Structure 1
Amino acid sequence: MISEANINENNAYSLLFREYSDVVNIKEMCEMLGGISTKTGYKILRENKINHFKIGRAYKIPKISILIYLKVIKESGIYSI
């Protein structure tokens, strides 16, 4: 079994969210964040808490940006595992 101590940032990317492509849409981002609502997902993006870009009207979110966001909220104590 892999422990948290054995996972570094370099291999975390390859272990987490394997089923998602490197760039996801808003619906996939919400699933990755534990099934939050799309309304909350759009709010997070509007507040620039997760790096993203738009192509036309569609939001595109790099998977690494979601991992960085999760690390930031874990380290800030907002969320604990």
Structure 2
Amino acid sequence: MLNENKGKFVTVAEVAEAMRVSKMTVYRLVHSGTLPAVRVGRSFRVPEQAVNDYLERSVYDVG
């Protein structure tokens, strides 16, 4: 049942480090539904592609 097309999952700590924000910020994004995640036991895993998509949506042109 494992789907190779789903990609890699990363931890909240890895997302926070990549985005240079606190883990609490990532948890807020997950709980608000802004950043999709899968609950595994007591922790969350975030699809790597979802992080990339979120960052692409968040970029804006200042000029």
Q: Tell me which of 2, 12, 16 is aligned to 1:30.
A: 16
Q: Partner of 2:33: helix, strand, or coil?
A: coil
Once the two structures are superposed, what CA deviation does each residue of 1:26-75 show, in whole Å capped at 9, x if it has no partner? 00010111x2011111111111111111011110001000000011111x
Amino acid at match of 1:65: A
Query: Under a length normalisation based on structure 2, what TM-score does the superposition of the two structures give?
Result: 0.77
Query: Which protein, 1 or 2, shows the higher relative CO under an 8 Å CA cutoff with sep ≥ 6?
Result: 2
Runs of 4+ in 1 over 3 A off after TM superposition: none
Gaps (5+ residues) in structure 1? 1-20
CA distance in 2, matches of 1:39, 1:63: 18
Root mean square deviation of aligned Cα: 1.9
Gaps (5+ residues) in structure 2? 1-6
